[in-house]
């Protein structure tokens, strides 16, 4: 029996065991997470609209601590409900837009952790979310989370000083758990190579913190596009982020430089810049910002890339710029998060343009409303919309997306 067939047959068994895990997950013990999502996508240039009904089930167990040691095991599975009227990157339905939620079951996390005075160390497959996840994250929006086979050391030698260092041997992407005949070098289920993540944080003053980072991504078996040479995402990125709050104001500024690493066949040299300002008034958070991912010189796409980021949280929810275009991308955005009717309403506007070469990409409007569903503790609903309109059809396509989601956590 093939691993893919085994995982597909294991999924119904996994779903059948879920009631056994209905124990609160605030501390040690079993945990349970169920998430149903309907996703509808209309994209110019494709013959059909996508309609995806998917269910993600996740079961885990966290042991109590023993002399500082603990362990976590977690398995999850994704099932397609109904026929595949979408391209999950594995099913070959290329007449439809992509909804990157392949079905299958796998080990999501399996690690041991040692907590000691002033820090902790973890060994095994684990979730790694650094900062706001702009460079390294778990891509929690997709049904199959991105996790890392890694050794991670976190230290806090002083109240104002922290260090975070991880060595990654393998990355399990959202496109897993398996590759198939419709996979490409731009969307492998697993990424090999030895990568290093180093981050240091310092609270300079009550209203200002600094984070310096250096990420060395040696990424085997993946490319910046389906037709690019393998290794073209191997890079080292060095940056500094400043952020803080004063009264009702929130602010952040960040710069970074990215260059090629190891066996990357392309020379890379591009820049990242961010400036963001927020203001909170009567529970509403207003925010405006400018983010630039630089383009690159030479043939092929040598722009600033963030291959391990939780990208859905940035540059609009329509996910038009998951791969930074060759000319780079500048995102000017404004939005607000508003408490409404016991839930949370978000509204955002983005204006996109190339970082170099002039012209415009287009603009996007995003709306969402999240609310706890009355009567069942741990049950939450989400309605979400994204509407992207292109100003240059040769570069991007008009895209509309709708999500309806129900999630239960216990």
Residue 269 lies in a domain: no
pTM of the model: 0.92
Give the mean model confidence (pLDDT) for residues 137-149: 98
* 210 neighbors 201 (Cβ within 8 angstroms): yes
Residue 158, judged by CB atoms within 10 A of its CB (0-12, 13-18, 19+), counts as: exposed
Residue 335 lies in a domain: no
Query: Which residue range(s) make up the domain with 50?
Result: 1-100
Residue 52 lies in a domain: yes
Helix (H) or strand (E) holding 13: helix 3-16
- Spatial separation of the C-alpha atoms in residues 193 and 30, rounded to whole Å: 33
- Spatial separation of the C-alpha atoms in residues 41 and 337, rounded to whole Å: 24
Give the mean model confidence (pLDDT) for residues 206-214: 98
Convert the pLDDT of each residue in 71-110 to its tens digit.
Answer: 999 999 999 999 999 999 999 999 999 999 999 999 999 9
* pLDDT(21) > 80: no
Give the mean model confidence (pLDDT) for residues 280-295: 97
Give the mean model confidence (pLDDT) for residues 308-325: 98
Give the mean model confidence (pLDDT) for residues 155-182: 97
Give the mean model confidence (pLDDT) for residues 126-134: 98
Convert the pLDDT of each residue in 389-408 to its tens digit.
Answer: 999 999 999 999 999 999 99
Give the mean model confidence (pLDDT) for residues 141-168: 97
Residue 280 lies in a domain: no
Give the mean model confidence (pLDDT) for residues 120-134: 98
Residue 235 lies in a domain: no
* 87 neighbors 93 (Cβ within 8 angstroms): yes
The number of distinct structural domains making up the chain is 1
* pLDDT(319) > 60: yes
What pLDDT shows up at residue 176? 95
Q: Give 26's pLDDT tier (boundaries 50, 70, 90).
A: low
Give the mean model confidence (pLDDT) for residues 120-124: 98
13-22, 227-236, 370-379: range with lowest mean pLDDT: 13-22
From residue 234, alpha-carbon distances to 224, 253, 261, 348 in Å are: 9, 25, 5, 32
Q: Give 17's pLDDT tier (boundaries 50, 70, 90).
A: very low
Residue 369: partners with Cβ closer than 8 Å, 6 or more residues away: 340, 343, 344, 345, 346, 382, 383, 384
Q: Give 18's pLDDT tier (boundaries 50, 70, 90).
A: very low
Residue 15 lies in a domain: yes
Residue 357 lies in a domain: no
Residue 2 lies in a domain: yes
């Amino acid at each position: 029996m093939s691993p893919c067939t085994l995982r597909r047959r294991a999924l119904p068994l996994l779903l059948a065991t879920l009631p056994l895990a209905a124990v609160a997950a605030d501390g040690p013990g079993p945990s349970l997470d169920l998430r149903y999502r309907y996703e509808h996508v209309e994209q110019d240039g494709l013959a059909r609209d996508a309609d995806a009904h998917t269910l993600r089930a996740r079961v885990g167990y966290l042991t109590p601590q023993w002399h500082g040691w603990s362990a976590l095991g977690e398995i999850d599975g994704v099932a397609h409900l109904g026929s595949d009227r979408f391209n999950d990157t594995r099913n070959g339905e290329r007449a439809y837009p992509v909804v990157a939620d392949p079905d299958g079951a796998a080990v999501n996390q399996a690690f041991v952790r040692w907590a000691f005075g002033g820090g902790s160390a973890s060994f095994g497959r684990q979730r790694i979310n650094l900062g706001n996840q702009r460079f390294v994250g778990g891509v929690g929006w997709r049904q199959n989370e991105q996790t890392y086979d890694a050794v991670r050391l976190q230290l806090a030698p002083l109240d104002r000083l922290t260090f975070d260092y991880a060595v990654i041997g393998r990355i399990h992407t959202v496109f897993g758990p398996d590759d198939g005949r419709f996979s490409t070098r731009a969307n492998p289920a697993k990424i090999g190579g030895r990568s290093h993540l180093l981050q240091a944080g310092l609270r300079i003053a009550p209203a200002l913190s600094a984070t310096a980072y250096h990420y060395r991504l040696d990424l085997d078996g993946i490319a910046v596009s389906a037709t690019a040479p393998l290794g073209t995402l191997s890079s080292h990125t060095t940056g500094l982020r400043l952020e803080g709050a004063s009264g009702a104001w929130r602010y952040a500024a960040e710069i970074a430089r990215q260059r090629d690493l190891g066996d990357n066949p392309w020379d890379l040299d591009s820049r990242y810049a961010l400036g963001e300002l927020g203001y909170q008034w009567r529970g509403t958070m207003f925010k405006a910002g400018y983010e630039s991912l630089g383009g690159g010189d030479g043939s092929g796409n040598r722009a600033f890339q963030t291959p391990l980021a939780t990208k859905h949280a940035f540059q609009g929810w329509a996910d038009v710029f998951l791969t930074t275009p060759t000319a780079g991308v500048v995102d000017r955005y404004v939005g607000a998060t508003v408490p409404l009717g016991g839930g949370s309403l978000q509204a955002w506007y983005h204006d996109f343009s190339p970082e170099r070469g002039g012209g415009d990409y287009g603009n996007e409007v995003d709306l969402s409303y999240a609310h706890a569903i009355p009567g069942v503790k741990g049950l939450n609903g989400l309605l979400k919309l994204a509407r992207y309109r292109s100003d240059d059809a040769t570069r991007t396509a008009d895209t509309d997306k709708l999500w309806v989601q129900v999630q239960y956590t216990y």
